[in-house]
Structure 1
């Protein structure tokens, strides 16, 4: 596309200095290191660096034109805009031919359940013979190729590029509140917006729950003209979201509305079985993952598939055969029969989902291993420890992923919180692998041991055991026992 077409994409977003040249634009970049001959460089004021400081480097690397927010004079065309972030999304969508229009796109937001719901829906679609791309926390999957993600939701440029490269009919993507607030979804259009729930998290960024809620609500501004919202009412914030969407006259499907769709006859004694009642018709479902939270996730995916026109019997079959997700309620069985579960849970609500599930499944004792990420929302730490102390027989607080927080400060905080809110059940063990090893050695048949907060992620610290993740640590201990002949 030519520069004049770029200006047309932006419409009233800015003004261009008067240049007679109209260069061909070979690509769009927001990182000056990636700029080549003919690139359009978009200077964004980031949280770590200001892209305007790298305009000179972009020009040296061959940029054909620059977009930014400051009043500058350059030897190449420069377009000044009010907001470079929103301009980037509009430009990227235009440059790649508005790829949202060639897919059916499902965007999923909420504090908990985004990843699980997205994987369930992808499995349902593929069981029904449809093709589906996935963009999310664990992996990006496009045309059956798997790529490691850098964020839960990519930046606006990456989103449009991946949508253009995808030949899949459907795209299911997790959309974080950070992405919505930072305009990373600008230029994206979705057919379905799903809201799973809201819980205390990320308040170091959003400051308070109302702001967090309003940032989540922005997902529904991305809906296409005939797009629909699907909201989980089994959560007070879901009820509030539904009320606001009704005022905005957005087409709405509500899980938990007795006149529409409700969950009934739940049985988690062994297998997870429940009835999903949709407009006076019952669908009896057996799901492969335990816990009420996973029932909500499965029901949200089922409702989405139903509105897409998928056959209920196919979706029921898919839910019964769902293989699970790396780092989401992933279970390894101890030689003596104790269950060890690796999960990404890192909020009070997510802790309750996991630990309550163990109680419902008849756990004799519950052990819990977790820690806190440094430099993140410290206000939720007290709540997390209180929940762990309420449900656990014993819990271990560990250290990993300190970010910019000092190790000494983290350890002191763990000790202080444990002393005040741990009810005498907690112990601080710096080395996460040794905490897991201790639980492995003391667990007995009938015990459930939860290792939460990291899921499939690799450790940031070096620990005593030669392992790089929670799952690796469990497999290492399992193999060690096998070699020693422990049964």
Structure 2
């Protein structure tokens, strides 16, 4: 593809063009280490590394053109743009021939529930005989192949490349606020934009909750001409978004408890099983969903309405929901030999913790214990509300380490002590080693208790701990195995 064809997509973004040669591009790269002869190199100003420092390396490796933000005079065509991230997304979309136009694309944003809704939608589509790719927090799944994710939402270049590689009819994509602010979905065109909810999170990146919300609304700038929003109106933010989309003349379908919604949730039963009714028009459908908790009622309802709008028969959707296998690291249940239930979940906000602990109460847990910690160098303002929520809803909690991300252990330990002093009363305990915290809960678990381990879900540990395990789930499996060995020896 000629450079001139790529530049047509950068209309309004180009500040200056040096060297009018029109080379034939063999590829696009934003990492100088990956540059091959004939590639277009896009220099991105990152948060830690400035890609402009690697332009010379890209040229040595054979880059035939460069895009960047600073003024330069190079031997190859150089395009100075206002924002390299925006330019990258548009250029990649053109280079890969606008791949999102060849699929039905479903974008999902919100604080909580993105991953679960994505997996439910994929499950329903496949149950209905459709093929579906998924790009999200847990994994990227394309053409039945699984790739390890780099971020919740891939970078703009990777998104276009993965979607171009997909032969699947549908593509489901989790869209984070960081991705929206950083133009990672620039050049993407969506058929459906789902909004799950909004709560206190990422306020280390966004200055206010209002800014966080506004970032989420940016997703709706990428709708296809006939695209539509599917919005949960179970919070004020959903109502606010519905009005905003009406002004933008984007069609909106909503879920909620009121008759004014396209899908009305009613008659919820959470006593050991998750059952609820869905009212669509004048028809009521009874739904049984294997994942526990009120939050999963909301997740299933979002997926239900999306599938209906796609054109899938409600009875097929109901059958699919009944057989949903769950999501790795999202309320994963592991049985203890004494009859206790251990839960591994990614919950890392006040709302998500409340959902998890409330689900345990709804299932009549004899006692609720909670193990969690905080990411170092991340949003500190949500820590106190998280501990407060745990202190209110659990019978006991253990504060432990999560990823420290360069924060000294002594500093994090001091933070945990302050929070425990404020909210712990007789409930709180501090065990810095995450595996030992889980081990203590395992060794003292009793019949009917629910022990929730939150914050990491399926993620690997970044720190070294005493037990030979690399994740919360692996720690539980290790303890399970050791318990079996002890029984054999005994």
Q: State the TM-score bracket (shorter-chain normalisation).
A: over 0.9
Counterparts of 1:226-237 in structure 2 under 5 Å?
Answer: 226-237=226-237
The range that moved more, 126-135 or 40-49, is 40-49
Match of 2:87 in 1: 87
2:185 aligned residue: 185
Q: Given the alignment, which residue of 266, 269, 272 partners 2:271?
A: 269
Partner of 2:216: 216
Alpha-carbon offset, residue 18 of structure 1: 5.5
Residues 199-252 of structure 1: CA deviation (Å, up to 9, x unaligned) = 100000002100000001111111111101011111221122112222222100
Deviation at 1:404, TM superposition (A): 2.2
Deviations 1:409-449 (A, max 9, x none): 00000001110122331111011111111111111111000
Q: 1:162 Cα deviation (Å)?
A: 0.5
Given candidates 351, 354, 361, the residue that maps to 1:352 is: 354
Q: What is the match of residue 280 of structure 2?
A: 278
* Kept after mapping to 1: 8 A contact 2:461/2:470: yes
- Give the CA deviation at 1:362: 0.4
Find the counterpart in structure 1 of residue 311 from structure 2: 309
Counterpart in the other structure of 2:35: 35
User: Distance between the aligned counterparts of 1:479 and 1:106, measured in 2?
Assistant: 41
**CA distance in 2 between partners of 1:133 and 1:429 (Å):** 40
Residue aligning to 2:429: 427
Deviations 1:178-212 (A, max 9, x none): 00011111001100000000010000000210000
Report which stretch shifted further, 268-277 or 341-350. 268-277
Structure 1 portions without partners, runs of 5+:
none
| 2:326 aligned residue (319, 324, 327) | 324
Paired position in structure 1 for 2:68:
68
Deviations 1:40-80 (A, max 9, x none): 01111111111111111111110101111111111111111
User: 3-state SS of the aligned residue for 1:326?
Assistant: coil
1:371 maps onto 2:373 in alignment:
yes
Is the 1:16–1:77 Cα contact (8 Å) retained in structure 2? no
Counterparts of residues 427-466 of structure 1 (less than 5 Å): 427-466=429-468
Q: TM-score, normalised by structure 1?
A: 0.98
The answer to whether the 8 A contact 1:273-1:286 is kept is yes
Question: What is the alpha-carbon distance in structure 1 between the residues aligned to residue 44 and residue 248 of structure 2?
Answer: 32
Q: Superposition pairs for residues 351-430 of structure 1, below 5 Å?
A: 351-430=353-432
Deviation at 1:15, TM superposition (A): 5.2
- Cα deviation per residue 1:323-346 (whole Å; 9 max; x = unaligned)? 011110000111111000000000
Report the equivalent of 1:206.
206
Q: How far off is 1:11 after superposition? A: 2.6
Query: Greater shift after overlay, 182-191 or 19-28?
Result: 19-28
Q: How do residues 328-347 of structure 1 correspond to structure 2 at under 5 angstroms?
A: 328-347=330-349
Deviations 1:256-302 (A, max 9, x none): 14132111111111211100111121111000101110010000001
Match of 1:22 in 2: 22
| Cα distance in 1 between the residues matched to 2:189 and 2:441 | 47
Task: Answer yes or no: is the 8 Å Cα contact 2:232–2:238 preserved in 1.
Answer: yes
In structure 2, distance between residues paired with 1:18 and 1:110 = 42
Report the alpha carbon displacement of residue 17 of structure 1 after superposing the two structures with TM.
Answer: 3.8
- Measured on the aligned residues, the alpha-carbon RMSD in Å equals 1.2
What SS does structure 1 have at the residue aligned with 2:72? coil
What secondary structure sits across from 2:205 in the alignment? helix
Distance 2:15 2:417 in 1: 57
Aligned to 1:253: 253
Alignment CA distance shift 1:225-1:437 (3 Å): same
Q: How many angstroms apart in 2 are the aligned matches of 1:12 and 1:196?
A: 33
* Per-residue deviation, residues 14-36 of structure 1 (Å, max 9, x unmatched): 15546353211000111111111
Contact 2:391/2:427 (CA < 8 Å) preserved in 1? Answer: yes
Higher deviation after alignment, 276-285 or 122-131: 276-285
Q: Which residue of 2 aligns with 1:469?
A: 471
Find the residue that maps to 2:87 and give its secondary structure: helix
* Paired residues of 2:18 and 2:79 also in contact (CA < 8 A): no
What corresponds to 1:111 in structure 2?
111
The residue matched to 1:340 in structure 2 has which SS? strand
How many pairs align? Answer: 487
Mapped to 2, the partners of 1:341 and 1:223 lie a distance apart of: 37
> Structure 1 residues 262, 20: closer, same or farther in 2, change over 3 A?
closer
1:132 Cα offset (Å): 0.1
